[in-house]
Amino acid sequence: MVTHTRSARTARTARALNAPRPALVESHADGTPRRVNRQDVGVLREEWRVVDRWWTEEPVHRRYFDVVLESGQNTVVYHDDDAGSWFTQRA
């Protein structure tokens, strides 16, 4: 007999708080976000870079943007320069 594989087995492990989540972002030519998760960016409040762990095999090169969307929602997105993709995260 074989087990039903749909049931995920439980394993209680520690996990990161505030882990980044993939985001759908369209950007301008200068790399600043234009639309985030299908909503237009109203205001770009702040921008900063995080470069860390460059001495390891998993270096971090991120360009963060604190934006206010047209809906009034305040969100932080970043572009992972190594992976070439966008994520949202509470910074």
Beta carbon of residue 63, minimum distance to another protein (angstroms, whole number): 13
Count of Cβ atoms closer than 10 Å to residue 77 Cβ: 24
Residue nearer to another protein on the CB measure, 6 or 38: 6
Name, in order, each residue with C-beta under 8 angstroms of 49's C-beta and a sequence gap of 6 or more.
61, 62, 63, 64
Question: According to the binding rule CB under 8 A, does residue 55 interact with another protein?
Answer: no
Q: What is the CA radius of gyration of the chain?
A: 17
Question: According to the binding rule CB under 8 A, does residue 56 interact with another protein?
Answer: no
Residue nearer to another protein on the CB measure, 10 or 71: 10
Question: According to the binding rule CB under 8 A, does residue 15 interact with another protein?
Answer: yes
